[in-house]
Chain A
Amino acid sequence: MTTQTVTPDRSPLAPERESFWHLVHAEWTKFRTVRGWVIAAGVTIAAIAGGAFLGTDVSGGCAGGRASGAASAAACPVQPTGPGGVPVVDAFYFAHQPVTGNGTITAAVTSLTGQVEAGQAGNGAPRMGPGLQPWSKAGIIIKQNTSPGSAYAAMMVTGSHGVRMQWDYVNDTPGLVQGAGAGGLGRWVGRVSVSAPRWLRLVRDADTITGHDSADGTHWTRVAAATLPGLTSTVQAGLFAAGSYYESSRCTYDSNFCTRAIGVFRHIRLSWPATGWTGTNVGGYANATGTPLPGTLRQSAATTTVAGFGDISPAAGNAYGGSGQSLQRALAGTLAGLIPLIVVAAMFITAEYRRGLIRVSLIAAPRRGRLLAAKAVAIGAVGFVAGLAAATLALAAGAPRLRRAGGLEWPVSLLTEARMAVGTGALLAVAAVLALAIGTIVRRSAPAVAIVIAVIVVPYLLAFHPLPGSQAQGSGPGGGGGWPLQLTPAAALSLQQAVPRFHQLIALYPLAAGYYPLAPWAGLAVECAWAAAALALAYYLLRRRDA
């Protein structure tokens, strides 16, 4: 009581009022108290969620690539599905015999040749010319049964990818034998011949099948072990050949099956009691008159020759009618929802310039970079939450509709679905930050909004309607869309890709079937790079210019 400390005059504000998060809170208050902006954010959510109903309406046509445009259900073939519900094509020539219990099948492939249809002979039969495809295949296989889509594991020689082990349609592992040919010590990708055969072996142990390969039949290398859950005791084991995918409008049997692979086998040994080979055209694909794909089995004293059309493969890309109903269709409204968000995000700063509020804001937060960062955090959070909520609603509404429409939908794991939903939120958040940065740079609403829409929406349209006469986009394993979806912020739409791509299936992976040219997070990185560059310029100009 004797001495009284005189405290210097202080601002009555608590120190935390100057903190960054307080600034963010202030910006959030600005956002939520403008009714039009909140309504626009609501429109964003409504557009994305509503777009799910438009996008998942696949009632017209088969939605698959095979018969798109065909309205009658009769014209739409039933797509076989493999283990896990994956849409597959399972059509090949199978020389098989039933085997029971554990055992081993071994064979040496001494020749693999391929043919591609060059035209039709006078009697309507296909006229074949030479043409081994990169993934034409012949080898040994252990398969549950001969119905399409059943579980299998196979060792094979391919046209130009060497020895492979494949199982259950989606798995592919290269053989490990290092050849002494032109490839030196690298992986063997050469052609087989009588003097340089490839030895293949499959060992069954309960529901595990192990693949081995060898150059000489004595030194074996284990390639991989496939687990086929639920494999019955009696299965079919044997030799197979399949031509692989080759799209041409001139094919006699099916626009997808235009090639034939011919494999020559020697030294076939089964540890099971032999019962003789039965030849079957698995899959039953046929031409218009019902003639099945003509596979053949020829046996001589030393060799067995198996020739077959078809393929054993996932139905992905535009191949085998296995596309078009991916879950991504549920997010079709994303760009429509993006437009009102871009308007709001640009106005978040341009309205301050228009009303002169920017001066007050800068008096309250004199450090301009912090103000810009707070605005970016606030509008980014709005975009993220709106996108996440909308995408969750859209996926929840769209998935059952797609499932009801048909069985072609790719099974999408929960993790992928989460990536699609969170990715949509991230895509919208970064787009909002980009719009804010552009708005700061140009300080005027209309040009800012137009610029951001032009760099996000227009590239997507250009990707969908590629420039006429330019190189076909979406070809090859690179995926659909081309440069507009690789270089512009629209690249982040790849976060919504629901369908996988397979290196062992050379087909078109078009944007229309839900394939993007970049990996999901690479696409987001491209969009982030745009936003970061725009923010850096905005920061520089905001500091340098008078408000």
Chain B
Amino acid sequence: MSLTARLTAPRYLLGQARRAAAAALLAEWTKFRTVPGPAWLLAGVVALTVAAGVAAASVARCPSAACGIDPATVSFTGIYPGQAVAAVAGVLAIGNEYSTGMIKLSLAAMPRRLTWFFAKTAVLTAPVLTASALAVAGAALAGRLILPGHGFTPAHGYASLTSATDVRAAAGAVLYLTLIALLSLGLAAAVRDSAAAIGLALGVLYLFPLAAAVVSNPALTRHLDQIGPLPAGLDAQATVGIQSLPLTPGQGLGVTALWAAGALLLGALALTLRDA
């Protein structure tokens, strides 16, 4: 091997790694866009979130100035059912690979498992983020159109439904939906089975508020609301009475992000340490 070849080798390898990552991304993106399932699921996230938001906004009433209702909470009611669909999208991104046996082919083509996992995560994140933004924008728009007619007027203390706080709440909702999809993806990689993963993901989401509802100790209830990804994420979407919430909006989103990061880490570890 000549001297020049030896000198250029590291650079060449670096380029190769970069190319491999780009190729992995392209391959995963091709997989993602050529099956109809993910597109339907993302459409489902948008449809369910907007529809439930419209339904909630049309029954909400603010009869007096002291009603204390959070218009963002009303508009974003659809996040409750919508996140289940986002979770399914996250689970199926990995779960389908295992259930169809595609995982063997994928890992044969991309032996660097973390590269593959990173590509998978990135390819899920971008469309889910887009769908969440559409869903939240639709729900917020519906609330903006419907709620002023139901007593959410400046006279009752709702000066504007498009203030900086409302924009922050909407951004929180978008990020929350995306984080739930990532949380589910990580869990699916950890347990390798769609059904178990979705049960686990929805359990993690819904069991904290369920437990908080039955516990009679107020301190314990508050802690459950702080550590659960769902109640913490809801704090990030609030615009009224933020001081009395168990977490600030930033902390709430942080807790949900920690859950997602933990699940992704668990999935990455399981993927690298275990046979596929």
Q: How far is the CB of A396 from chain B (nearest CB, A)?
A: 18
**Which residues from chain B contact A68 at a C-beta distance below 8 Å?**
216
Please tell me if the beta carbons of B206 and A458 are within 8 angstroms of each other in the complex.
yes
Inter-chain contact total with CB atoms closer than 8 Å = 127
**Which residues from chain A contact B220 at a C-beta distance below 8 Å?**
60
Q: Mark A335-379, 1 if CB is under 8 A from B, else 0.
A: 110011011001100110010000000000000000000000000
Please tell me if the beta carbons of A468 and B73 are within 8 angstroms of each other in the complex.
yes
Within 8 A of A (CB), among B20-76: 56, 59-62, 67, 69-70, 73-74
Cα distance, A470 to B150, chains bound together (Å): 11
A11 within 8 A of B: no
A464 within 8 A of B: yes
Cα distance, A51 to B211, chains bound together (Å): 9
Cα distance, A57 to B67, chains bound together (Å): 33
Please tell me if the beta carbons of B56 and A454 are within 8 angstroms of each other in the complex.
no
B77 within 8 A of A: yes
**Which residues from chain B contact A340 at a C-beta distance below 8 Å?**
199
Please tell me if the beta carbons of A468 and B84 are within 8 angstroms of each other in the complex.
no
Please tell me if the beta carbons of B62 and A347 are within 8 angstroms of each other in the complex.
no
A229 within 8 A of B: no
With known contacts A450-B87, A461-B80, A57–B196 Cβ distance under 8 A: no
**Which residues from chain A contact B211 at a C-beta distance below 8 Å?**
54, 332, 336
Please tell me if the beta carbons of A57 and B215 are within 8 angstroms of each other in the complex.
yes
Please tell me if the beta carbons of B198 and A449 are within 8 angstroms of each other in the complex.
yes
Please tell me if the beta carbons of A354 and B59 are within 8 angstroms of each other in the complex.
no
Interface centre among B60, B80, B203, B218 (most CB of A within 10 A): B203
A418 within 8 A of B: no
Q: Which residue of B lies closest to A55 (CB)?
A: B214
Please tell me if the beta carbons of A61 and B216 are within 8 angstroms of each other in the complex.
yes
A281 within 8 A of B: no
Please tell me if the beta carbons of B69 and A468 are within 8 angstroms of each other in the complex.
yes
Stretch binding the partner chain, chosen from A13-21, A385-393, A439-447, A521-529: A439-447
**Which residues from chain B contact A58 at a C-beta distance below 8 Å?**
216
Among candidates B60, B62, B81, B219, residue contacting A467 with C-beta atoms closer than 8 Å: B60
Within 8 A of B (CB), among A49-71: 51, 54-55, 57-61, 63, 68-69
Please tell me if the beta carbons of B84 and A450 are within 8 angstroms of each other in the complex.
yes
With known contacts A342-B199, A446-B88, A446-B194, A336–B80 Cβ distance under 8 A: no
Please tell me if the beta carbons of B198 and A469 are within 8 angstroms of each other in the complex.
no
Please tell me if the beta carbons of A445 and B195 are within 8 angstroms of each other in the complex.
yes
Q: How far is the CB of A378 from chain B (nearest CB, A)?
A: 18
B85 within 8 A of A: yes
Please tell me if the beta carbons of B60 and A470 are within 8 angstroms of each other in the complex.
yes
Q: How far is the CB of A492 from chain B (nearest CB, A)?
A: 16
Cα distance, A454 to B81, chains bound together (Å): 7
Q: Which residue of B lies closest to A325 (CB)?
A: B216
A471 within 8 A of B: yes
B141 within 8 A of A: no
Q: Which residue of B lies closest to A336 (CB)?
A: B207
With known contacts A458-B206, A468-B69, A470-B59, A60–B218 Cβ distance under 8 A: yes
Q: Which residue of A lies closest to B77 (CB)?
A: A467
Please tell me if the beta carbons of A461 and B206 are within 8 angstroms of each other in the complex.
yes
Please tell me if the beta carbons of B216 and A63 are within 8 angstroms of each other in the complex.
yes
Please tell me if the beta carbons of A332 and B70 are within 8 angstroms of each other in the complex.
no
Please tell me if the beta carbons of B80 and A469 are within 8 angstroms of each other in the complex.
no
Among candidates A343, A448, A453, residue contacting B84 with C-beta atoms closer than 8 Å: A453
Q: Which residue of A lies closest to B80 (CB)?
A: A458
Q: Which residue of A lies closest to B212 (CB)?
A: A464
Cα distance, A336 to B214, chains bound together (Å): 12
Please tell me if the beta carbons of A457 and B67 are within 8 angstroms of each other in the complex.
no
Stretch binding the partner chain, chosen from B10-18, B91-99, B160-168, B268-276: B91-99
Cα distance, A103 to B80, chains bound together (Å): 65
**Which residues from chain A contact B193 at a C-beta distance below 8 Å?**
445
**Which residues from chain B contact A324 at a C-beta distance below 8 Å?**
216
A462 within 8 A of B: yes
Within 8 A of A (CB), among B80-139: 80-81, 84-85, 87-88, 91-92, 95, 99
A460 within 8 A of B: yes
**Which residues from chain A contact B197 at a C-beta distance below 8 Å?**
446
B contact set with A: CB distance below 8 Å: 56, 59-62, 67, 69-70, 73-74, 77, 80-81, 84-85, 87-88, 91-92, 95, 99, 150, 193-199, 202-203, 206-207, 209-211, 213-220
- Other than the known A449-B202, A450-B202, what 9 A-B pairs have Cβ atoms closer than 8 Å? A54-B214, A61-B216, A63-B216, A335-B210, A446-B95, A446-B194, A449-B195, A450-B84, A469-B60
